[in-house]
Structure 1
Amino acid sequence: MDLSSVVWRKSSRSTNGGDCVEVAVVPGDPALAGHKADADELYLVRDSKDPDGPALAFTQREWEAFVGGVKDGEFG
């Protein structure tokens, strides 16, 4: 999976270029996440300390549920 042309975003709350996760939104592609082949777009998340490492793929519905959980304090 080639993610070299993907535009990644880091949180504006990341201090001093600190380590955090980065997010990118890309068109759905079975090569990125075959089990989510029917998704129109995917939300990718990676560790900024390991930009060549793995990326997790979420559908829009999964991403919205995750963000909602963060806002509700579900992850402490």
Structure 2
Amino acid sequence: MAETAEEIKARKERERDELYALDISGVEWHSAPGTEAHEERVEIAYLPEGAVAMRSSLDPGTVLRYTEAEWRAFVLGARDGEFDLEPGRHDGELAPE
């Protein structure tokens, strides 16, 4: 039997709560090859059950956490170009049409 919308929402909230309850103080952070320690970069850490934590090297105290399904969807979308910036787009402003 398929989950109802309410059941899906409740499951996702439980998953999020469990993910943010994890102690990640000892995780190993990774960044793209070729970046220097003093450069601004995105860092990720692999968590249990395929989950991933992500932070900015400039703000290591703010950590976002993603379930395996969320991370997989993001990576596949990035590979497909869904997050590519459009030419002429700067600082969150849309380019004139």
Does TM-score exceed 0.5, indicating one fold? Answer: yes
RMSD of the alignment, in Å?
1.8
Q: Which residue of 2 aligns with 1:67?
A: 75
User: Are residue 58 (structure 1) and residue 79 (structure 2) matched?
Assistant: no
User: Following TM superposition, by how much is the alpha carbon of 1:41 offset from its aligned partner in structure 2, in angstroms?
Assistant: 4.1
Structure 2: gaps of 5 or more residues: 1-20, 85-97
Q: Which runs of 4+ in 1 moved over 6 A?
A: none
Question: What is the percent sequence identity of the aligned residues?
Answer: 40
TM-score by length of 1: 0.68
**Correspondence for 2:43 among 4, 22, 28:** 22
Q: Which one has a larger percent strand, Structure 1 or Structure 2? A: 1
Q: Which one has a larger percent helix, Structure 1 or Structure 2? A: 2
Query: Secondary structure of the equivalent of 2:59?
Result: coil
Q: Structure 1 counterpart of 2:32, which letter?
A: S
Structure 1: gaps of 5 or more residues: 28-39
**Correspondence for 1:4 among 18, 25, 33:** 25
TM-score by length of 2: 0.55
- Count of paired positions: 62
User: Are residue 44 (structure 1) and residue 53 (structure 2) matched?
Assistant: yes
Pick 1 or 2: higher relative contact order, CA cutoff 8 A, min separation 6.
1
The structure number with the bigger radius of gyration is: 2
